[in-house]
Amino acid sequence: MEKCSWIDEKNPLYVKYHDKEWGLPLHDDTKLFELLILEGAQAGLSWSTILNKRENYRKAFDSFNYEKIALYDSKKINSLLQDAGIVRNKLKINSTIQNAKAFIKIRKEFTSFDKYIWSFVNNKPIKNNFKSLKDIPAKTPLSDKISIDLKKRGMNFVGSTIIYAYMQATGLVNDHQINCFRYEEV
């Protein structure tokens, strides 16, 4: 079974992520929040690093319960900074809290984050036709637009490149390579 060429076949978590999750249209607000935070945490690091720490992130950040995260105080931040199971970057940890607060505001305005984020693609995934990894862009005019809007709403670690990776992960765009078994399934 052929897969996208970017997969780290030596990492079973990476293979499972590609085969069972990446690029599937996602509509659950908690999972949408989780991937938004993980994509931001990945900035400057490899996705394998984040996948290997994903379960630790779930434990450290209350299963990505944005309502709880929005209330984190300095004591909780200090404990997160000591947690070797996650990326111990103060800016990224503070960003998670700030983004939880902004996420809640977006949910209130649109009734769900799902409705907000999927409105950018008219509620239908964009299906691309990329043959190789070099064809896949790092960002697009649409990821620029979403990034700008999220920043206006108070989020950070949501630059255009991070947002394009998020769009791919959550199925807003189908960037499985055309020879990948998942390409036609999504």
Share of the chain above pLDDT 70, in %: 100
Q: Domain for residue 151, yes or no? A: yes
Q: Where does the chain have alpha helices with state H?
A: 12-20, 29-42, 47-60, 66-69, 74-81, 90-110, 113-119, 141-152, 160-169
Instruction: Give domain status of residue 19, yes or no.
Output: no
pLDDT reported for residue 1: 82
pLDDT value, residue 170 = 98
Query: What confidence score (pLDDT) does residue 139 get?
Result: 97
CATH of the domain at 61: 1.10.340.30
Q: What's the pLDDT score for residue 180?
A: 93
* Residues 79-93 pLDDT 10s: 999 999 999 999 999
Q: What digits encode the pLDDT tens for the residues 130-146?
A: 998 899 999 999 999 99
Q: 63: domain range?
A: 28-174
Sign of torsion, CA 114 67 91 31? Answer: negative
Cα–Cα distances in angstroms (integers) from residue 87 to residues 20, 50, 92, 100, 123, in the given order: 25, 8, 8, 18, 33
Structure confidence at residue 116 (pLDDT): 98
The whole-number pLDDT of residue 185 equals 76
- Mind telling me the catalytic residues? 17, 39, 47
In a domain, 117, yes or no: yes
Give the pLDDT confidence of 33-72 residue by residue, as tens digits.
999 999 999 999 999 999 999 999 999 999 999 999 999 9
Q: How many domains does the chain have?
A: 1
Residue 14 resides in a domain: no
Task: Give me the chain's average pLDDT, please.
Answer: 96
Q: Inform me whether the pLDDT recorded for 112 exceeds 90.
A: yes
CA dist 184 and 186 (Å) reads: 6
pLDDT in the model for residue 184: 83
Can you say whether the dihedral through the CA atoms of 91, 94, 96, 102 is positive or negative?
negative
179 within domain boundaries: no
Q: What is the pLDDT, as a whole number, of residue 8? A: 86
Is pLDDT above 80 for 186? no
Any domain includes 20: no
In a domain, 183, yes or no: no
Residue 182 counted as domain residue: no
Q: Are the beta carbons of 91 and 119 closer than 8 angstroms?
A: no
Task: Taking each helix axis as running N to C, give the angle between helix 90-110 and helix 74-81, from 0 to 180 degrees, rounded to the nearest 10.
Answer: 130
